[in-house]
Each structure stands twice: as C-alpha cells, then as structure tokens.
Structure 1
Amino acid sequence: MTTGCGCGGGAGGGGCSSSAKEPEVVVAAEPQLIASSEQEWPMVSVNGVQIAPETMAQELQYHPAESREEAVFLAARALVIRELLQQRIRELGVQLEIGAGENEEEAATRLLLEREVKVPECDEATCVRYFESNRGRFHSAPLLAVRHILLECAPDDAEARHQALSQAEVLLLSLEEAPGAFAELALKYSACPSKAQGGSLGQVSKGQTVPELERQLFTLAPGLASKPLESRYGWHVICVDQRIEGQPLPYEVVATAIRTQLQQGVWQKALVQYLQTLVGAADVRGIALQGADSPLVQ
C-alpha cells in the first residue's frame, strides 16, 4: 500500500487531486444488427464494400459495452461511418493538408467536414438569452476550509475498508465529545501529510479533490460531518471550519464559455445530420442505422 492520500493537502490548501477525461460524443442509432445467430460476425457492406470480419474484431476493443452484441454493433457502426467518409473523400477528391499530429486519414476527414458541415456562428443575442435563462448555473465555486483525518486502506481490500470505517466512527464519537482534540487525533491516526497541520487542507475548491470525495464534501454544512466520507484512499473524518458560497458571475466573465458550449452543441447536431444524410444516400447492408429520413434530422 502506498502511503499518503495523494491530496497534497496542507496549510496551503488543496486536496486529493485527480484528473478527468471528457466523455466521447457518439452518433445516435438503435443497437440492432442484421445477422443470423450462426454468424460470429455480421456481414456488413457499404456501397458494395465489405467490412472484413478481422477489421471488425480489431475495432471491437475500442467499444466496451454491457454485451457482446452491443459492442459488435458499435464497432460495426464506427466502421460503416469511417467507410462512408472515406468514400466521400475519394468522390470529392479532397486535397490533403496534413496538420500537426494528424495522419492522412485524420487530415482528410477534417478537411471533408470543414468543407461539407457548415455551422452558423452563435450570435451575441443567442448567448445573452442563454445566460439569462440559466443564471443559476453561473456562479463561482464555493470554498471550504477543511480538516480531515484519513484512515487509509486499499480500494480492493474489503476487510481493511470495514476496519477503517469502524475506526473512523469511533474517532467521530470522540470528537463529538471533545471537538478540540481534532489536531491531536489527526497527528496520531491520519495517513495524510496534512496531519502535521492538524489535518488542515486549507481552502478547498471544486476540482481539487478526487470526484467521489468532492461530491460528498461540497454538500456539507460547517462543523463536524455526521458520518465518515469514503474515497479511493480510505475513510475520511471531516470537519468543515468555514464555507464560503459562490457568487453570481457577470455575463462578461462567462460569455466565451457560453459561446463555446452553444457552438459545440450546434456542431454536434450538424455532424449527426450530415452522417445521417450519408447513411441515407448509401447502400448499407448488414446493420440498421438511422438515415436522412430519421426524425432526428427534422
């Protein structure tokens, strides 16, 4: 087991930091394969071009799903879209201009979409309307002055987790009777380097702790938390010394973020419609995809 919670906590602030990946956007379609139960792989073709089973098998690793049938559908759909784009690139004779970090296929696909997917820019009035309709979403993040005692245990050690929780509950009972003993107990029991500062993590804002702890932490009112909080590092006995609520942000501060968000939404809708148009105009066999006549295009 590694020592410490990885939060970097101390008097200077911060705690249990982590990074997150943005979710991948996919094109909507019903997971329906046209294949007999005797076939290991569906026989899928695009305008007469067969998708090879070995290609589908290789693509499968990029599409985790709850069932093999769904994973095969997702892999087949991705390959159909890829083939449709490649056929359109050849049809139009797209001239390559390879950018930094791109391969030839990526460059050609980018140039095709730039040429064929036209997206209007979101104007100022649209952005302002969105801001006015969603004012509650635009606040600065709250700040918490937090102390904690970490009872460390491995995430996959059920017995150690149970013991750490029991110890955390005992410490909570002790602190309810003697709140002034927090620093002493942190120094004695905490596995976090912040124990040298009485368990203090300083001022913590959103994004500075691991997600599973953050979701619980920012619901707390000032004072000693009524129960231990769990994270991948173990169980935390938490005391919130101060909570400073976020303040409303003016439009000028969030205008760029709003425009980017709205523009991304428009782009995604336009891309889906474009791909559905390609599907609708093609002879795609072996898989059911939504084409240009789908209600989603309306």
Structure 2
Amino acid sequence: MNALFPDVIVNGETIAPAAIAAEAQNHSGPRGKPGIAWRKAAQALTIRALLLQEAARRRLTAEAQELAPGRVETEEEALIRALLEEAVEMPEITADHVRAEWARDPDRFRSAPLWDASHILIACDPHDAAESAAAKARAEALIARLDGDAKGFATLAARESDCGSKSAGGALGQLGPGDSVPEFEAALRALKAEEITPEPVQTRHGWHVIRLNAVAPGEVLPFETVAPKITQALEKAAWARASRDFIAGLAARSEIAGATLDPI
C-alpha cells in the first residue's frame, strides 16, 4: 500500500503502485495537487485491467497492427482493440441524423476565415526576463503613441518593427487558421476590422502590436459539403458513448478497490 493512496485491486488483481506512478506522468492535475494525476492514472489502469480481464475471459487473440510508421500496437493494445471491436455495438448513423445535426445550427459550418493583418514586432528572447520586460514596455509605448489611430501604423511599423515586414509597413497579407503562432491567431480572432490590440501580444518571437486591417469570416457551407465531416463526428461520438457504456457494464459486474470510474 502506498503511503498516501490505497492499493488498487480489480477483481483480485493488484495494480502495482509503480505502474500507477509511471502512468501518472501522462495525466494532468492542478499544481500542488499530485493526487489528482495519481487518481486519473489509477482510473486509466483500472479500465485497462477490466478490458484485459474481459478479453482473457472471452479467450480473444489479436495480431498487432501498425498504428503509424515505426509504431506497432503492443499485445495488450491489440487485445483491447479486438475486444472493443467484438463487444461494442455501434448505433446506426442515418442520413436523417446527419441532416438534423447540420440543421441544428448551419452557421457552425463555415469556410475558414481570412484575416488581413499588419504588425509591429519588438523582438526579444521570451526566456530572458529583463529583455522581455524591456521589449514589452517598448511595445506598450508604441500602442500609446498610436492611441487607437491606425493611420500612422504603417509609418510606425516601417521605423520600429524588428520583422522583415517593416518594408511593407508591417503588412503580413492574408492569414488563415494555422498560418501564425497560436497567440497571434488568438489575438486576430479577438479583434474587429481596423482595430489594434490594446495590449502587446507575446509569442516566441517577442512582443507584437497587431492591427486587423480586414476580415472575411468565411461562408456558411452547404449541407452536401459538410455531410461527410458531420457523419464522422457523429460516429466518433457514438463510439465513445458505446465504449463508455460497455466499460461501465464491466465495472458494475466487478469488484474494484482503491479507484473509481467516476469523473475526476
């Protein structure tokens, strides 16, 4: 028994604390509360034990499959896959289901937005606290100088920016999702056309003053275009629900100590 946590026993099979500690590295928890990661790990290994025990009860065998180049299933992963393929019954996803999901809110299904943006970069090493603070202060001073007025943005960018786009007045042209680092994209999504970020935006490159020149939000896509994507999403959700129900059924028929399958 661990000094802090009870032994985890699934139908008489004890899960080693060392295995739980290793699994805990794959789970997150609030800082200063390692017990949450431990409980999540114990839950994951409890589910794994339930599935492997059921596979053994059914005397299943499975051949390992390649998951990706250089990545082949372990024997246990193959057994769990074979069990779920045999035991989990997938509800049928009909054309009516797909159309109903689309009709619930067609506005969710749009082509990707496009942002026409400009920026002023104050480059720095984000890991150097003093250098980063100085760069941020410089960016804040530029925002104060602009005072929300975008007319002088290009002139200021040409003089102050540390990015090669300074030769074009800071213009970056049209950007779509994934074309910029996540922090930069998040700032673009929060801006309206012709707005400037009220605070500098930090990325791995330094601090940015960003202007959104224009935005094309994307068009609502017709049902025929998005139907395959909706079908895939509904099938994935249905599979997840059916798998959870199957595991819950195994747990209800089992003796489990030291772990819970309740949400953590």
Q: TM-score, length-normalised on structure 2?
A: 0.86
The Cα shift of 1:60 comes to 2.2
Q: Map 1:1-298; keep pairs closer than 5 Å.
A: 39-66=3-30, 67-100=33-66, 101-175=72-146, 181-225=152-196, 227-232=198-203, 233-290=205-262
Which consecutive segments of 4 or more residues in structure 1 shift more than 4 A? 173-181
Q: What one-letter code is carried by the residue in structure 2 that aligns with 1:203?
A: Q
Cα RMSD of the aligned pairs, angstroms, is 2.5
Question: How far apart in 2 are the matches of 1:86 and 1:128?
Answer: 38
Percent pairwise identity:
36
Question: How far apart in 2 are the matches of 1:288 and 1:106?
Answer: 22
The Cα shift of 1:41 comes to 3.7
CA contact under 8 A between 2:55 and 2:83: conserved in structure 1?
yes
CA deviation profile, 1:114-155 (whole Å, cap 9, x unmatched)? 000111231111111111111121122221211111112333
Q: Which runs of 5+ in 1 are unaligned?
A: 1-34, 291-298
- Tell me the secondary structure at the aligned position of residue 45 of structure 1: strand
User: Which structure carries more relative contact order (alpha carbon 8 Å, separation 6+)?
Assistant: 1
Q: Which moved more, 1:152-161 or 1:191-200?
A: 152-161
Question: How far apart in 2 are the matches of 1:103 and 1:43?
Answer: 26
CA contact under 8 A between 1:165 and 1:228: conserved in structure 2?
no
Question: How far apart in 2 are the matches of 1:287 and 1:130?
Answer: 37
Question: How far apart in 2 are the matches of 1:262 and 1:123?
Answer: 10
The Cα shift of 1:240 comes to 2.5
Q: What one-letter code is carried by the residue in structure 1 that aligns with 2:209?
A: V
Match of 1:11 in 2: none
Question: How far apart in 2 are the matches of 1:88 and 1:73?
Answer: 23
What is the aligned residue count?
255
- Tell me the secondary structure at the aligned position of residue 62 of structure 1: coil
Q: TM-score, length-normalised on structure 1?
A: 0.77
Judged with a 3 Å threshold, the aligned counterparts in structure 2 of structure 1 residues 229 and 134 are, in CA distance, closer, same or farther, namely farther
- Tell me the secondary structure at the aligned position of residue 218 of structure 1: helix
The Cα shift of 1:260 comes to 1.1
Match of 2:69 in 1: none
CA contact under 8 A between 2:193 and 2:214: conserved in structure 1?
yes
CA contact under 8 A between 1:213 and 1:229: conserved in structure 2?
no
Question: How far apart in 2 are the matches of 1:174 and 1:131?
Answer: 47
Q: Which runs of 5+ in 2 are unaligned?
A: 67-71
The Cα shift of 1:267 comes to 1.0
- Tell me the secondary structure at the aligned position of residue 190 of structure 2: coil
Q: What one-letter code is carried by the residue in structure 1 that aligns with 2:35?
A: E
